[in-house]
A and B are shown apart, each in its own frame.
Chain A
Amino acid sequence: MAIDTPLALLMNGSNRIFWGYLIVSAVIAIIWYVFKVGAISAPTLKAYWFNADSKLDYRYFVFNWVFKALFIVPVLLSANTVALWILNWLNSISEPLFLSWYYRDIIVAYTLSLFVLGDFSRYWLHRWLHTNRWLWKFHQVHHSAESLNPLTFYRLHPVEIMLFALRNALVAGVVTGIFVFCFGARLNLYSVLGGNAFVVILFSFTGNLRHSHIRLSYGRWLERLLISPAQHQVHHQQKNIHKNLGSVLALWDWVFGTLRLSKDVPLDQKFGLGRGKREKFDGIVKIIIQPFFDIYRSIRRN
C-alpha cells in the first residue's frame, strides 16, 4: 500500500488537497465571500488561517502523515490482498465467467461500483463512529475543531484512520475481485486527474470547502442527492452533529433518516463539541491520548 509524501498530496488528483481542487475551491470561496460578506481583509485572513485550531491542523497534518508511513501502511491490509482473496475464493467455487460485455460498459460499471459502494460504506462507517459510544470517543477528535479549514479533514485519530483504510481495502478489494472474476483482464478505471471520475466530477472541486466557513449550499433539491459544503458544516455544528453523515452522496442520509438540509438550519457558525470541550484535544499528544483516557474512565464508571 503506497503512501504519498505530504508534498505529493498536492500533486495527485486522487487526493483531497490536490492543487487544482484547492485553486477551484479558493476561487469559489473568494467569489462567495465577496458577494455574501464583503471585501476580504488581511486581518480577517490572518485570524482564519493562523488561529489555534488552524495551527494545530497544520502540525497534526504532518504528524498524521508520519504516523501512517511508519505504523499503519506497513501492517495494514491492502485492497490488492483482499481482491486476490476474493478472486481465489470465487475461482475455488466456480469457473471464471469471462463475460463478454463491451469494454466501455465494464469500465463504467467498475468505476461506478467503486464509487457507489465506496460512498455507501463511508456513510455507514461514519454513522457507526457517531452511534457507537466507544468509537465516538475517537471520532470526537475530528469534531473538536471550532474553526474549519481544508486540513481539518486530516484531524483524525489513528484508530479512525485505520478503520477507514480497512473499509477502503475491503470495498475496493471485494469489488475488484468480483470484477476480475467476471471480466478477466478487461478491467480499467475511468479516472479524471488521477481520481475516480465520479468522485472528481461530483465532489472534488468543492470538497475542500466542506471544512471551511464558506456556507455554499446546493439548494433544496440537489442537497437530497449530494452533500454540499454547507451540509457538512451543519454536521460540524454541535446541534446537528449526528446529521449529514454522507461523503459525496446525500442519498444515504435521505434514505436512512439522517439528512438535514442546510436551509433548515440557522446560520449558527458555532462548530465543535461545545463549551470547554476543545481544550481536551488542543495538542497532538492530547489528540492521541484523550480518547483512550475517556474510554478508560467510562469503563471505570461502569
Chain B
Amino acid sequence: MKIFTPLSAICLLSVPLVSHAQLSNAQEKDPYASIYDHVIQHNADNAVQYCTDLQTSLDSKSSDVRHRAFVQLAEGWGRVQASYILGDYDMNAMDYPLMVDYFHSGNEDIHESIERLVARDSKPSTALYKNSYKTMGAIDSVMFSGEWSERRKEFAEVMVANVCKRFTQISDGYKANRDAFLFDVDRGLSLVVNAEIEHIYKTRDWRIAQVSGLTKANLGETKPEHQQYPYSEASWAFIGGVLETNKQLLGEDQQPNVATIAYEKHGKEGIHAVQVALASSLEAYKNTPVDHNFNLNDMIPIFQGLLDVQKAFYRHLVSQIGVSANLIDADGD
C-alpha cells in the first residue's frame, strides 16, 4: 500500500500538466486554423465571387466593366495559386490549377487556336472541346484581343463557366479538407510554405524575368507579349495577388499566420529576413510605374526583391530543418 501514496500524488500532479499541454496545443493550432480559414479558404471563396462577377459583366456594354472584372479575377486567382495546397489532400484537385490556367503548360498558341475557332461558325460548347480552350489565357484572348461581339461573348460564357466551376470545386475542396489540414499541422504548414516558395519562384522567373529580359537566356530582350495575360494586361494584377497572399501569410500585422508559428518554433531571426524581403518586394511592386509594360529597368527592383524572398525563405528553411551539425553526434568512433 505504501506505493499508493506517491503514485496517487504523481497521478494528481499530472492532471493539470495534461490539461495545460492540451491547452497550449490548442493555442498553437490557432495560427494554423487562421491560415486555413482567413487565407486559403477566404481567397478561394473570393475567387468564386470574382468569377461570378465576371460572368455578370459579360452582359455589360462597357468594356471597362468587363476589363475590371477580369483584372479582379486575375488578382484573385493569383491569391489562390500562391498558396494552392488542395492537390496534396485530394488527388482530383491536383489538376485544377491547370484547368484554370494553362500558362507555361504545353506549346500550343491558345490565342491562335481561339481566333481560328471564333472565325468559324461551330457551337462554342463544341468548338471549345479542349481544357486549354476554357482557361484564363483563353478568356484573356477572346475578351480582349479583338472587337467585342456576340460570338466572342458566347465563347467567353463557356470559358468563364468552366473557370467558375473549377474555382467552386477548389473552394468546396478546401471546405472538405479543413480537418485533414488541421489533423497534421506540420505537414499542412510545409505544404503552404512550399506553395509560397514555388510561386514566388515562378512569379519571378516566368512572369517577370522571362517577359522583361532578365533571364540568362533572354537577357535584355523585353517581350511584353509573353506576359500571362497579354491582351488584358492583367498579368500585373496576378503578380500582385501572389504578393498579397504572401503578405497575408507572413505579414507582422496579419498574425496569427505563418510568422506566428515561425516565431514560436524558431525565433524571429529567420522569418524576419523573409518578411523584410517580402516588404521590399511589395514596395517595389507598388512603386513600379503604371505604364511599365515590363520594361527591364522597371522590373529590376521587384525581380531582385522576389529573389531575396526566395533566398531568405531557403535560409530559413534550411536552418529550421535542423541539419545544423551537432558536433557531439558528428564525432568519430
Which residue of the partner chain, among A14, A79, A80, A125, contacts B332 with CB atoms under 8 Å? A125
Distance in angstroms from B258 CB to nearest chain A CB is 10
Chain B residues 289 to 316 lying within 8 A of chain A, measured CB to CB, are 311, 313-315
CA A174 – CA B238 in complex, angstroms? 35
CA A3 – CA B331 in complex, angstroms? 12
Q: Which residues of A contact B193 (CB under 8 A)?
A: 184-185
Chain B residues 163 to 189 lying within 8 A of chain A, measured CB to CB, are 186-187
Contacts known (A187-B321, A188-B186); A167 close to B330, Cβ less than 8 A: yes
CA A192 – CA B197 in complex, angstroms? 29
Q: Which residues of A contact B323 (CB under 8 A)?
A: 79-80, 83, 114, 172-173, 175-176, 189
CA A126 – CA B330 in complex, angstroms? 12
Answer whether residue A215 sits at the interface, using C-beta atoms and an 8 A cutoff. Answer: no
Do B332 and A187 touch across chains, with their CB atoms under 8 A apart? no
Interface of A with B (CB < 8 Å)? 1-4, 9, 14-16, 68, 72-73, 76, 78-80, 83-84, 87-88, 95-96, 98, 100, 103, 114, 122, 125-126, 129, 139, 142, 153-154, 156, 160-161, 163-165, 167-169, 172-173, 175-177, 180, 183-189, 195, 210, 232, 247
Which residue of the partner chain, among A15, A103, A165, A210, contacts B325 with CB atoms under 8 Å? A165
Contacts known (A96-B201, A184-B194, A186-B194); A78 close to B325, Cβ less than 8 A: yes
The 3 closest A-B pairs by CB, nearest first: A168-B330, A185-B194, A185-B193
Which residue of the partner chain, among A68, A78, A95, A180, contacts B317 with CB atoms under 8 Å? A180
CA A111 – CA B252 in complex, angstroms? 33
Which residue of the partner chain, among A87, A129, A189, A232, contacts B322 with CB atoms under 8 Å? A189
Distance in angstroms from B262 CB to nearest chain A CB is 12
Answer whether residue B326 sits at the interface, using C-beta atoms and an 8 A cutoff. Answer: yes
Do B331 and A187 touch across chains, with their CB atoms under 8 A apart? no
Which residue of chain B has the shortest Cβ distance to A86 in the bound complex? Answer: B318
Of the listed residues A95, A126, A164, A232, the one surrounded by the most CB atoms of chain B closer than 10 A to its CB is A164
Distance in angstroms from A98 CB to nearest chain B CB is 5
Do A232 and B190 touch across chains, with their CB atoms under 8 A apart? no
- Could you mark each residue 205-225 of chain B with 1 if its beta carbon is under 8 Å from any beta carbon of chain A, else 0? 100000000000000000000
Q: How large is the interface on B (under 10, 10 to 19, 20 to 34, 35 or more residues)?
A: 20 to 34
Answer whether residue B324 sits at the interface, using C-beta atoms and an 8 A cutoff. Answer: yes
Do B318 and A176 touch across chains, with their CB atoms under 8 A apart? yes
Answer whether residue B198 sits at the interface, using C-beta atoms and an 8 A cutoff. Answer: yes
CA A9 – CA B205 in complex, angstroms? 46
Interface of A is mostly: helix
Do B190 and A247 touch across chains, with their CB atoms under 8 A apart? no
Q: Which residues of A contact B14 (CB under 8 A)?
A: none
Answer whether residue B12 sits at the interface, using C-beta atoms and an 8 A cutoff. Answer: no
Do A84 and B190 touch across chains, with their CB atoms under 8 A apart? no
Which residue of the partner chain, among B317, B321, B325, contacts A1 with CB atoms under 8 Å? B325
* Number of residue pairs A-B, CB distance < 8 angstroms: 129
Answer whether residue B118 sits at the interface, using C-beta atoms and an 8 A cutoff. Answer: no
Q: Which residues of B contact A154 (CB under 8 A)?
A: 331
Q: Which residues of B contact A183 (CB under 8 A)?
A: 194
Contacts known (A103-B187, A185-B197, A186-B190); A160 close to B332, Cβ less than 8 A: yes
Answer whether residue B264 sits at the interface, using C-beta atoms and an 8 A cutoff. Answer: no
Contacts known (A103-B190, A188-B186); A164 close to B330, Cβ less than 8 A: yes
Do B318 and A210 touch across chains, with their CB atoms under 8 A apart? no
Q: Which residues of A contact B197 (CB under 8 A)?
A: 96, 184-185
Chain B residues 89 to 113 lying within 8 A of chain A, measured CB to CB, are 94
Answer whether residue B253 sits at the interface, using C-beta atoms and an 8 A cutoff. Answer: no
Answer whether residue B329 sits at the interface, using C-beta atoms and an 8 A cutoff. Answer: yes
Which residue of the partner chain, among A72, A95, A122, contacts B327 with CB atoms under 8 Å? A72
Which residue of chain A has the shortest Cβ distance to B197 in the bound complex? Answer: A184
Which residue of chain A has the shortest Cβ distance to B311 in the bound complex? Answer: A88
Q: Which residues of A contact B325 (CB under 8 A)?
A: 1, 76, 78-79, 165, 168-169, 172
Q: Which residues of B contact A139 (CB under 8 A)?
A: 332
Distance in angstroms from A101 CB to nearest chain B CB is 11
Contacts known (A83-B323, A186-B191); A164 close to B332, Cβ less than 8 A: yes
Contacts known (A126-B332, A187-B317); A1 close to B191, Cβ less than 8 A: no
Q: Which residues of B contact A76 (CB under 8 A)?
A: 325, 327
Distance in angstroms from A82 CB to nearest chain B CB is 9
Which residue of chain B has the shortest Cβ distance to A236 in the bound complex? Answer: B333
Q: Which residues of B contact A232 (CB under 8 A)?
A: 333
Q: Which residues of B contact A68 (CB under 8 A)?
A: 327
CA A1 – CA B315 in complex, angstroms? 14
Which residue of chain A has the shortest Cβ distance to B191 in the bound complex? Answer: A186
